[in-house]
Structure 1
Amino acid sequence: MNQIQEQLLAQTKHKGLSKKKLAQRIFFIILGAALMGVGIEEFLVQNNILDGGIVGVSIILSHLTGIKLGIFIFILNIPFLYIGYKQIGKTFAFSTLLGIAVLSITTILLHDVPVFTEDLLLATVFGGITLGAGVGIVIRYGGSLDGTEIMAILLDKKLPFSVGEIIMIFNVVIFTIAGFVFGWDRAMYSLLTYFIAFKTIDIVIAGLDESKSAWIISEHYKEIGDAILARLGRGVTYLNGEGAYTGDDKKVIFCVITRLEEAKLKSLVEDIDPSAFLAVAAISEVRGGRFKKKAIH
């Protein structure tokens, strides 16, 4: 969930959008919210399978009261919208309001539409994928579809738990309640849906922006380092090394890049020194220093 936290907090630094970027953001937030609505209504709700977070609470309340799901989703998220506006920023709050409004309307419109499948396993898998893709798109373009994330970010400052752990605890409580309301088999299917959606969100948000470490050994280290700075805009660190076989002193270039920049780095190194040693590895998390992922606005 660190990626989600990064995307939400990034909105506080947002200064303004061009008309093109604004239109792009609105389009993808609407698309993502509608996609989540399809996942919820056409795969999950009518098969008595839950999502986590505020949506999960809304599904339970809608089932118990008979009131439209979209109404609960919108009403229960209002307090978190206000908190998001005060604590994170108006751009994030308005993006989230748009997403939640579209999600609520979509669930209401689709409520009486026949489900795509009544097979519980298929509903779980494809519901999780559809839902996760929708949530991921909205987060990637600066909004949120569930107040749980906002609550978790704020509680993270006061509790000895990470954002991901707070959300997990909240969802475990929801799925436990679902076990009593819908039956324990549905609760287990709901938990499986949550994990599928969680991984799909990761892929949508971080899949193309995954951080990678690069280690380069070359006699032309200075030229390569300067090129990385100039052409990729990434900082580099020169490390002192020693060849175990030859005993020669070596300069090792270390830098952190995104997945999108990997091909460009390889081409850059090959152009300067085709015989250079290059190793690239995935990194699960990057903190501190001057490394900044290019935010999408």
Structure 2
Amino acid sequence: MTNPAPQPPSQHNKLTKAKLLRRSLFLTLGAAFMAVGLEIFLVPNNIIDGGIVGISIIASHLSHVPLGIFLLLLNLPFLFLGYKQIGKTFALSTLYAVAVMSLGTYLLHPIPPITIDPLLAAVFGGIVLGIGVGMVIRSGGSLDGTEIVAILLSKKSAFSVGEIVMFFNFFILGSAGFVFGWDRAMYSLIAYYIAFKMIDITIEGFDESKAVWIISENAEVIGDAIMHRLGRGVTYLNGEGGFTGGAKKVIFCVITRLEEAKLKSIVEERDPAAFLAVGNIHDVKGGRFKKKDIH
């Protein structure tokens, strides 16, 4: 009996391999950015980050043990928790990213810092760190065990993930004052805040979607202008005023962050008294969100 001719790999397998390669690439780049931010900017200037990374920097400074060893060892217990409670893919992605980050800090340690100005180090270190962490999170991993603990605790408490992480970091960043001096603790807060903002931008992108609600007597005029000048579709909703009881027409649409200023000017030009509410949204699917060509 002859063996059947080998079949070409399915499109599904190709897509799976492509996604895996893309994930691995961005996990590697993100972890490398993190290592650069730590060893080229923050650590030489005695500035720390929050979470396990901050604890590792303090422990490395006090013990003179390489930073990468603490980054790996202190994250391992949380990776075990992540594997048990969150999932295999997340845990393996995190393990890979942490390993690359730890190796990166070891290789970059002999390289002198770009700047010894603590403010410049805090600003640019925070930017590089935020980009790196954002890339890793966007690729389905993490670089800090406290995030895993926060995710698990948030499921059993009334606190959000962000509130729990902030609680941990309050003590970690505060401890930097006793180890490195209070001026370095304040620079650490600057770096942490900048990194936090850069994580948001990296995850959501500059094209982050925003939901818009507009209540106006000139709803159709404004809606037509949004469709023709922004190329965005609008939906008209029928509402009722809570105080007056009168009928109201509500415009709903979804735009990007970069279009927000233009939309506000459109509304201001046509009805300065219009009610306008803008909110961030994290995911848009279906419908006609894709922008139409404007001629």
Please indicate the TM-score interval, normalised by the length of the shorter structure.
0.7 to 0.9
List, as ranges, runs of 4+ consecutive aligned residues in structure 1 with deviation greater than 6 Å.
260-263
Q: Is the 8 A contact 2:154 2:164 kept in 1?
A: yes
Q: Distance in 2 between matches of 1:115 and 1:30?
A: 22
Alignment of 1:112-151 (within 5 A): 112-151=110-149
Q: Distance in 2 between matches of 1:93 and 1:60?
A: 25
Unaligned ranges ≥5, structure 2: 1-13, 264-269, 286-295
Following superposition, the deviation at residue 159 of structure 1 comes to: 3.1
Identity of aligned residues (%): 59
Q: Is the 8 A contact 2:213 2:251 kept in 1?
A: yes
For the aligned residues, what is the CA RMSD? 3.4
User: Taking structure 2 as the reference length, what is the TM-score of the superposition?
Assistant: 0.73
AA paired with 1:239? Answer: N
Alignment of 1:34-49 (within 5 A): 34-49=32-47
Kindly tell me: are residues 239 and 116 of structure 1, through their superposed partners in 2, closer, same or farther at Cα, counting changes over 3 Å? same
For 1:259, the equivalent position in structure 2 comes to 256
Give the counterpart of 1:218 among 213, 220, 230: 220
Q: Distance in 2 between matches of 1:32 and 1:116?
A: 20
Alignment of 1:150-229 (within 5 A): 150-208=148-206, 210-215=208-213, 217-218=219-220
Following superposition, the deviation at residue 281 of structure 1 comes to: 5.4
Q: Distance in 1 between matches of 2:128 and 2:212?
A: 34
Q: Is the 8 A contact 2:238 2:247 kept in 1?
A: no
For 1:28, the equivalent position in structure 2 comes to 26
Q: Does 1:283 pair with 2:279?
A: yes
Kindly tell me: are residues 293 and 154 of structure 1, through their superposed partners in 2, closer, same or farther at Cα, counting changes over 3 Å? farther
Following superposition, the deviation at residue 249 of structure 1 comes to: 6.5
Following superposition, the deviation at residue 250 of structure 1 comes to: 6.6
Q: Distance in 1 between matches of 2:207 and 2:92?
A: 25
Q: Is the 8 A contact 1:42 1:113 kept in 2?
A: yes
For 2:237, the equivalent position in structure 1 comes to 238
AA paired with 1:149? Answer: E
Q: Is the 8 A contact 2:234 2:251 kept in 1?
A: no
For 1:245, the equivalent position in structure 2 comes to none
Unaligned ranges ≥5, structure 1: 1-15, 226-231, 243-247, 267-274, 287-291
Q: Is the 8 A contact 2:50 2:172 kept in 1?
A: yes
User: Taking structure 1 as the reference length, what is the TM-score of the superposition?
Assistant: 0.73
Kindly tell me: are residues 95 and 173 of structure 1, through their superposed partners in 2, closer, same or farther at Cα, counting changes over 3 Å? same
Following superposition, the deviation at residue 282 of structure 1 comes to: 3.5
AA paired with 2:279? Answer: I
Q: Is the 8 A contact 1:210 1:283 kept in 2?
A: no
Give the counterpart of 2:17 among 16, 19, 29: 19
Deviations along 1:189-237, whole A, 9 cap, x unmatched? 1111101111111111123453412347439x9xx99xxxxxx9x9967
Q: Distance in 2 between matches of 1:293 and 1:149?
A: 25
Kindly tell me: are residues 142 and 117 of structure 1, through their superposed partners in 2, closer, same or farther at Cα, counting changes over 3 Å? same
Q: Distance in 1 between matches of 2:206 and 2:126?
A: 20
Following superposition, the deviation at residue 285 of structure 1 comes to: 5.6
Kindly tell me: are residues 258 and 70 of structure 1, through their superposed partners in 2, closer, same or farther at Cα, counting changes over 3 Å? farther
Q: Distance in 1 between matches of 2:15 and 2:156?
A: 33
Deviations along 1:238-268, whole A, 9 cap, x unmatched? 32469xxxxx97754425x3628979xx9xx
